[in-house]
Amino acid sequence: MQILPWQIWMILGIVFIIIEIFDPAFFFISLGIGAIITSLLSMIPFLGNSVPLQIFIFAVLSFISFLFMRKLGKKVLSKPGGNTNVYALKGQNGFVTKEIPAEGKGYVKIGGEEWPAIEIDNKAVELGAKVVVEGIEGNKVIVRRIP
24 pLDDT tier (thresholds 50, 70, 90): confident
Task: Of 9-13, 74-78, 110-114, give the range with the top mean pLDDT.
Answer: 9-13
Every domain range in the chain assigned CATH 2.40.50.140: 85-145
Instruction: Quickly name the fold that domain 85-145 has.
Output: OB fold (Dihydrolipoamide Acetyltransferase, E2P) (2.40.50)
Output the pLDDT for position 39.
Answer: 93
Give mean pLDDT, residues 116-127. Answer: 92
Query: 5-22 vs 28-41: helix axis angle to the nearest 10?
Result: 160
The pTM assigned to this predicted structure is 0.53
On the question of pLDDT at 82 being above 90, the answer is no
Q: Which residues of 113-130 are buried (b: 16+ CB within 10 A; e: fewer)?
A: eebebbbeeeeebeeebe
pLDDT tier at 48, thresholds 50, 70, 90: low
Mean pLDDT for 58-78 is 86
Mean residue pLDDT of the chain comes to 88
